[in-house]
Chains A and B, each alone.
Chain A
Amino acid sequence: MPLSRRIQRALPNALSIGLTGLVMVILFGPVLLLALFSFNDSTVISLPWEGFTTRWYSEALNDDGAMTAIGNSVMVASIVTVASLILGTLASWGLTRIPFRGRPLVAGVHGSVLVVPWLIIGVAGLIFFSQIEMALSLQTIILMHIVVTFPLVVAVVSAGLIRFDPSLEEAAIDMGASQLQMMRYIVLPQIAPSLAAAAIFAFAWSFNNFEISFFTGGFEQTFPVWVYGVLRHSSNLPVVNAASTVIALAQVLLVFGLWYGMKLMTRRRGGSDHDAAEMITGAVR
């Protein structure tokens, strides 16, 4: 084969590898850099490398503020996830299966919440709670988080329900199943991937949210709000860095764990890896 042809063949390949690499660096470079510096024995995040240490990790572990904030965030995110999953699934069922007047409008309203900036939702929440004279606390944070995670769950689960063949529901009823049995044995197992994806994203949105938590929170801080608070002193930087690295790692492991679980499940069902990937990507479509 002439050289020009060979280059022509190899070019798209090399190009795609190059582009992928570039995207990876832009996406993960900063995070990896921070993670790297969390092991640097210095209070400033810059070269030169002062030596390897795990001191920031043990400091973070012994920092009451950090631990309380993480605990709060885990609790808030868990409650938000469960609540928005239940509400969102019910709403999705209504929006995809029960014809009623004004359905497109209601669906549109759900979607529109997703594009309102969190800052505005946070401020709106603050005004709302002060109007009804409700003291700001973790509860108010939870309520406002549900406002944004609920439409997210609706979007993801509705997409799953729309792809789901309704004749499966009829087949179940045809064989004598009640509505409840049909849900339990046919619908839930089928939309489990959507539910899992919705749960992952709802949890992550709530856990990582700063703006809403900042405006609608009281004395008890969530992790992002705590980070914002202590970062005013640059000496805290390495501790924050260490804590953030652990959190980021935990989230990545969680998502990968779930993804792998799904993959095993679809393999067992005779599906392809493609299905597994779709569960994650399907959530953001």
Chain B
Amino acid sequence: MITLSNLTKTFGDSTAVNAIDLEIANGEFFSMLGPSGCGKTTTLRMIAGFEEPTSGRIELAGEDVTWTSPKKRNVNMVFQNYALFPHMTVRENVEFGLKIKKLEKARATERIERMITAVRLEGFESRHPAQLSGGQQQRVALARALVNEPAALLLDEPLGALDLKLRKEMQLELKSIQQQTGTTFVYVTHDQEEALTMSDRVAVMNGGNVEQVDDPRSLYEKPRSEFVADFIGTSNLLKVEVETWDGDIARAGLGDGLRITCRESGDRASAKTITVRPEKINVHAGPVDPGQGSLVRGRIIENVYLGSMTQLIVELSTGERLIVHELNDDSGGPSEAGTEVYLSWATDHSFVIEGAAKAPDQQAALPAGAESL
């Protein structure tokens, strides 16, 4: 298990990682997702031991390793550029860690061969890295790290250099290797799709802060902050004055029987914004009874055919715009531009989240993250 408590790293007067807390369970596929410069690499390098924290604590399997040298930590890193040793063959690369640890010959050979088979590199053992394709180099880097049987594998955008098709293949392969070996993976990426499809849990980072840690489904369905809602998939954000709270359900009337209801997700006090995903919205020609759900009125101002669905942009009387995705299955409502329509969605599909009011403070406190966004 990896535990980060109150971990902070500053470079000069800019904060790269701002007092983050994370717990990563054994055998978990854990991703850190966020835009460029949000501190993913810095966090990973602190876990590996290549960067000294400014403050905070790092524990591996219950042991405080905050000041332990990287070679003594039972974690291994897969570098973004692979960092394969160019003067060594594939086999020598994979062998390196075991040679350093002076593992007994027979056991080392067995482990190396098992690893080379696991990453499907049989027959390439005597090649040098320069003679391999990008995907093959990636697999050597993986084998070289995994052969040490680390408690956790730290991967820094390992697929960043590969083309889209190979990326998809390697995603599946990485996931299956992770499941086979049961190794904890801490996976850094700025590709949300990659994070969502591969991970057990994802930490969304922004400007040195962890915005939300959740399983992929919850991240998508129940984003806790505007940033997460916006960063993961397409999301509609609406400014709302909450009138009443009914348990964890917030209500806001808009007059004319129109209203918004949604569930609590973030911090109730600062709740000013609600989120709803485009595909959760239903379009109607006239007013309908939304039951417990929300109902708003607007006018279609744009209509884009996207193959399996149609994307509508609906402008509300407040001037706010909603993106609506309608499946092209002949069951949908009106979609002509200029049409007045009613939109409804279920309470469970929209959430009050931490409003935009909080963002400016964050940026002021964090010049490093803000500048690179």
Q: Does B127 contact A (CB under 8 A)?
A: yes
Query: Which residues in chain B, 96-126, are within 8 Å of chain A measured between CB atoms?
Result: 96-97, 100-101
> Which residues from chain B contact A173 at a C-beta distance below 8 Å?
50, 69-71
CB of B87 within 8 A of CB of A190, answer yes
> Which residues from chain B contact A167 at a C-beta distance below 8 Å?
79, 81, 83
Q: How far is the CB of A274 from chain B (nearest CB, A)?
A: 12
CB of B128 within 8 A of CB of A174, answer no
With A and B bound together, what is the CA distance between A171 and B77 in angstroms?
7
With A and B bound together, what is the CA distance between A268 and B86 in angstroms?
11
- Residue of A with least CB distance to B96: A175
Given A189-B87, A270-B131, the answer on whether A176 and B79 have CB atoms closer than 8 Å is no
CB of B71 within 8 A of CB of A269, answer no
Given A269-B130, A270-B127, A270-B128, the answer on whether A170 and B101 have CB atoms closer than 8 Å is no
Q: Does A186 contact B (CB under 8 A)?
A: yes
Given A269-B130, A270-B131, the answer on whether A174 and B86 have CB atoms closer than 8 Å is no
How many residues on chain B are close to A (CB under 8 Å)?
27
> Which residues from chain A contact B101 at a C-beta distance below 8 Å?
176
Given A167-B81, A270-B127, A270-B131, the answer on whether A177 and B86 have CB atoms closer than 8 Å is no
Given A165-B83, A171-B85, the answer on whether A271 and B70 have CB atoms closer than 8 Å is no
Q: Does B18 contact A (CB under 8 A)?
A: no
> Which residues from chain A contact B97 at a C-beta distance below 8 Å?
175-176
> Which residues from chain B contact A170 at a C-beta distance below 8 Å?
50, 70, 77, 79, 83
> Which residues from chain A contact B235 at a C-beta distance below 8 Å?
none
- Residue of A with least CB distance to B73: A174
- Residue of B with least CB distance to A179: B71
With A and B bound together, what is the CA distance between A269 and B100 in angstroms?
22
Given A173-B70, A181-B100, A271-B130, the answer on whether A165 and B81 have CB atoms closer than 8 Å is yes
CB of B130 within 8 A of CB of A175, answer no
CB of B83 within 8 A of CB of A270, answer no
With A and B bound together, what is the CA distance between A173 and B81 in angstroms?
16
- Residue of A with least CB distance to B131: A270
With A and B bound together, what is the CA distance between A186 and B100 in angstroms?
12
With A and B bound together, what is the CA distance between A172 and B71 in angstroms?
9
CB of B85 within 8 A of CB of A168, answer yes
> Which residues from chain A contact B199 at a C-beta distance below 8 Å?
none
> Which residues from chain A contact B72 at a C-beta distance below 8 Å?
176
With A and B bound together, what is the CA distance between A143 and B72 in angstroms?
43
Name B83's contact: one of A168, A176, A177, A181 (CB within 8 Å).
A168
> Which residues from chain A contact B48 at a C-beta distance below 8 Å?
174
> Which residues from chain A contact B84 at a C-beta distance below 8 Å?
171
Query: Which residues in chain A, 149-207, are within 8 Å of chain B measured between CB atoms?
Result: 165, 167-168, 170-178, 181, 185-186, 189-190
> Which residues from chain A contact B145 at a C-beta distance below 8 Å?
174-175
- Residue of B with least CB distance to A272: B130
With A and B bound together, what is the CA distance between A46 and B77 in angstroms?
70
> Which residues from chain B contact A185 at a C-beta distance below 8 Å?
85, 96
